[in-house]
Amino acid sequence: MSLEEHKRGRPFAKFASQAFALLCAGATWLCVSILILLLWNIVSFGLDSLSWDYINRFPSRFAEKAGIKSALVGSIYLIGLTALFAVPVGIGAAIYLEEYSPKNRWQTIVQINIANLAGVPSIVYGILGLGLFVRAMQLNRSLVAGALTLTLVVLPIVILAAQESLRAVPSTIRQASYALGATRWQTVWHQLLPAALPGIMTGVILALSRALGEAAPLVAIGAATYVPFLPEDVFKDEFTALPLQIFNWTGLPQKGFHEVAAAGIIILLIVLVCMNALAVALRYRFSRNKRW
Amino acid sequence: MLLPETALDSRPERMSEASARKTPVRMTTATLDQSNVSRSAAEIAEQSKKVVTRDVDFFYGAKQALYKVSLDVPEHCVTALIGPSGCGKSTFLRCLNRMNDMIDDTTVRGEILLDGKNVYRRGTDVVELRKRVGMVFQKSNPFPKSIYENVAYGPRVAGVRKRNILDEIVEKSLRQSALWDEVQDRLYDSALQLSGGQQQRLCIARALATNPDVLLMDEPASALDPKSTAAVEDLIFGLKKSYTIAIVTHNMQQAARVSDQTAFFYEGHLIEVGATNELFTNPYEKQTEDYITGRFG
């Protein structure tokens, strides 16, 4: 092919390029339209049941009297406790793996395992939680047992996100800190953590969003689905959570409960959107004046 | 390869002949002679040796990067390390404050003595060493914090808590790095808002704030425009009164302008070292001559 021909370009290459762009756009719109359909379906179905009363009522045998209060409060407790357990452990593990551990075979093995753990189905963690926390540690079906089980689910995600953020801190910052006679701990505390914090926070919130939506591990540890009270002792009291309550309602034969379940899904989605918005806001807030 | 002493001793008698031969280099020397502040070979020899290295080998994994490098860095002098890319000059520099420790799977052999003590001996406190041997990097790397916090970081991690002492150190360091006048009314603004040249001078101030004995500079001006480069060079020249400086540079005019002693590295070997004005006018080795006259590298 002469240079002239080359410059003009081959017609097929042009066509292929446009076709590919179209294909990708189609894939995007497919996803978006499915999501919109789903949202519309749920909102149209559940909006009628949604009211302040609904949020403020405990579950009931009668669909028109059923409320989401215990599930919503249970979920909030659960997420709070999960964050309490998962964040320090996850960030600590990430700091160790990124900044302290020698880069040897052992580290590689641990790293591969964490990546794999992030992909393990949550029901497996549920069974582990049942054996370890509920039975062996005798925490029964308490909020702490549920939160510890969810911690297992999200821990690999938190570790990976925190590692990613630490790795994104330019090595020049590390070098500058060490060259000034800072110890490892000082470098981590004064330079790396502040710089990595927005990324870590985002990862943590996204991981917690996942924990918020998990029903399977809670089913596995035997969390209750009918809880007409608010938990007072996190080590003892039984609890329920949004996805569990929704799962329970959708399983009932009466149509009224399906509408209540749809309303529950709307609540769950609102909480999720709020958490994601918080993640975006944090990222924006912290990274505004930060460029290297 | 020569030991520095012999290189210095044998040079003067060859001086006239060599300077007649190499015009471009002689021009550089002319400016040097006018400024008349660079130290001569005799003056360098009088200085006590701050850093002494003996037969230093360095390996990245199995790949050897330095071969038996023996170099003395005299006190209160600027020693320039020159040579083509990948010749080991930066690696050597980073051995002096053990920054290479941060790279996995590296090996050092030989002796590196700071005030007579081997920095690689067992039980060396690396943190302590790096407080005594400061470093400025090629790319200015201020922390994403305020100007004040950047300079105060070194003293802070060393345990200085008192605000008035920190204030004093910050001002002194910024004055030393000729930045005080430009930033004194915005000490609490982000350091990232400074220009490239100012950022590099801030990094120098930051390194000075720990009050080091030795200052290592790894191509400190290579990313700067000519004006900022000149500012940094002036700074380096002024700093040698109080500090011992080793600077890696790709720019031979820069080496000629700022340094008292120059060491030429090639493929991991220290080819030649000597007083700058003599090395540039009358290099002993053919490779050095080829490099400084621009025939390769």
Residue B92 maps to a domain: yes
Average pLDDT over residues B32-47: 64
Q: Which residues contact A233 (CB under 8 A, 6 or more apart)?
A: A142
Mutant choice from B127, B140, B150, B203 vs A, greatest count of A C-beta within 10 A: B127
For helices A193-213 and A255-287, angle between their N-to-C axes, nearest 10 degrees: 180
Q: Cα separation of A129 and A146, whole Å?
A: 8
Give, rounded to a whole angstrom, the gap between the first and last alpha carbons of chain B.
19
Contact across the interface for A173 and B153, Cβ inside 8 Å:
no
Residue B297 maps to a domain: no
Q: Cβ distance A268 to A72 under 8 Å?
A: no
Pick from A176, A181, A292: which is nearest to B137 by CB? A176
Between A and B, how many residue pairs show a Cβ–Cβ distance under 8 A? Answer: 74
Q: Which residue of B has its CA nearest to A189?
A: B157
Q: Cβ distance A279 to A205 under 8 Å?
A: yes
Q: Please check the confidence at residue A5 and state whether its pLDDT lies above 80.
A: no
Average pLDDT over residues B143-163: 92
Q: Is the ipTM of this complex over 0.85?
A: no
Nearest CA among A115, A71, A4 for reference residue A215: A71
Give the range of the structural domain holding residue B270, as residue numbers without chain letter: 4-292
Number of Cα atoms under 13 Å in the Cβ half of residue B128: 6
C-alpha gyration radius of chain A: 24
Tell me if chain A has a CB within 8 Å of the CB of B190.
yes
Given pLDDT bands bounded at 50, 70 and 90, which one contains residue B295? Answer: confident
Contact across the interface for A180 and B130, Cβ inside 8 Å:
yes
Given pLDDT bands bounded at 50, 70 and 90, which one contains residue A28? Answer: very high
Question: What domain count does chain B have?
Answer: 1
CA distance B165 to chain A (A): 18
Contact across the interface for B104 and A291, Cβ inside 8 Å:
no
Count of CB atoms within 10 A of residue A11's CB? 8
Interface of A with B in 177-236 (CB under 8 A): 177-183, 186, 190-191, 195
pLDDT for residue B167: 94
- Dump pLDDT digits (tens) for B52-73: 999 999 999 889 999 999 999 9
Q: Which residues contact A275 (CB under 8 A, 6 or more apart)?
A: A205, A208, A209, A212
Q: Please check the confidence at residue B29 and state whether its pLDDT lies above 70.
A: no
Q: Please check the confidence at residue A149 and state whether its pLDDT lies above 50.
A: yes
Q: What angle do CA B134, A182, A96 make, to 5 degrees?
A: 135
Torsion B7-B12-B13-B17 (CA) sign = positive
Tell me if chain A has a CB within 8 Å of the CB of B207.
yes
- Dump pLDDT digits (tens) for A252-286: 888 888 888 899 999 999 999 998 898 888 878 77
Q: Which residues of A touch B207 (CB under 8 A)?
A: 179-180
Tell me if chain A has a CB within 8 Å of the CB of B131.
yes
Q: Cα separation of A117 and A154, whole Å?
A: 9
Task: Kindly write down the DSSP assignment for every residue of B55-84, as one continuous string.
Answer: EEEEEETTEEEEEEE--EEETT-EEEEE-S
Q: Which residues of A touch B134 (CB under 8 A)?
A: 179-180
Task: Kindly write down the DSSP assignment for every residue of B79-138, as one continuous string.
Answer: EEEE-STTSSHHHHHHHHTTGGGGSSSEEEEEEEEETTEETTSTT--HHHHHHHEEEE-S
Interface of A with B in 84-113 (CB under 8 A): 102-103
Beta bridge partner(s), residue B51 = B73, B114
Residue B280 maps to a domain: yes
Tell me if chain A has a CB within 8 Å of the CB of B120.
no
Q: Cα separation of B26 and B34, whole Å?
A: 12
Structure tokens at A41: 């379906």
Structure tokens at B191: 């350091």
pLDDT for residue B50: 87
Q: Please check the confidence at residue B228 and state whether its pLDDT lies above 80.
A: yes
Q: Which residues of B touch A182 (CB under 8 A)?
A: 127, 153-154, 157
Q: Cα separation of A242 and B129, whole Å?
A: 57
Residue B192 maps to a domain: yes
Pick from A102, A186, A195: which is nearest to B144 by CB? A195
Q: What angle do CA A236, A158, A150 make, to 5 degrees?
A: 25
Q: Cα separation of A78 and A2, whole Å?
A: 68
Average pLDDT over residues B249-271: 90
pLDDT for residue B30: 36
Contact across the interface for A180 and B128, Cβ inside 8 Å:
no
Q: Which helix or strand (DSSP H or E) is residue B273 part of?
A: strand B269-275
Structure tokens at A79: 């997420």
- Domains (ranges, CATH) in chain A? 52-287 (1.10.3720.10)
Nearest CA among B262, B253, B260 for reference residue B293: B253
Q: Which residue of A has its CA nearest to B129?
A: A181
Nearest CA among B172, B239, B238 for reference residue B210: B172
Q: Cβ distance A244 to A30 under 8 Å?
A: no
Tell me if chain B has a CB within 8 Å of the CB of A174.
yes
Q: Write the CATH number for B229.
A: 3.40.50.300
Q: Please check the confidence at residue B14 and state whether its pLDDT lies above 70.
A: no
Contact across the interface for B99 and A177, Cβ inside 8 Å:
no
Q: Which residues of A touch B192 (CB under 8 A)?
A: 289-292
Average pLDDT over residues B164-193: 91
Task: Kindly write down the DSSP assignment for every residue of chain A, as one continuous string.
Answer: --HHHHHH--HHHHHHHHHHHHHHHHHHHHHHHHHHHHHHHHHHHHGGG-SHHHHHS---SSGGG---HHHHHHHHHHHHHHHHHHHHHHHHHHHIIIIIS-SSHHHHHHHHHHHHHTTS-HHHHHHHHIIIIIIIT--TTBHHHHHHHHHHHHHHHHHHHHHHHHHHS-HHHHHHHHHTT--HHHIIIIIIHHHHHHHHHHHHHHHHHHHHH--HHHHHTT--S---S--S-TTT-B---HHHHHHHHHHSS-HHHHHHHHHHHHHHHHHHHHHHHHHHHHHHHHHTT---
Q: Which residues of A touch B135 (CB under 8 A)?
A: 175, 179
Q: Which residues of A touch B151 (CB under 8 A)?
A: none
Tell me if chain B has a CB within 8 Å of the CB of A80.
no
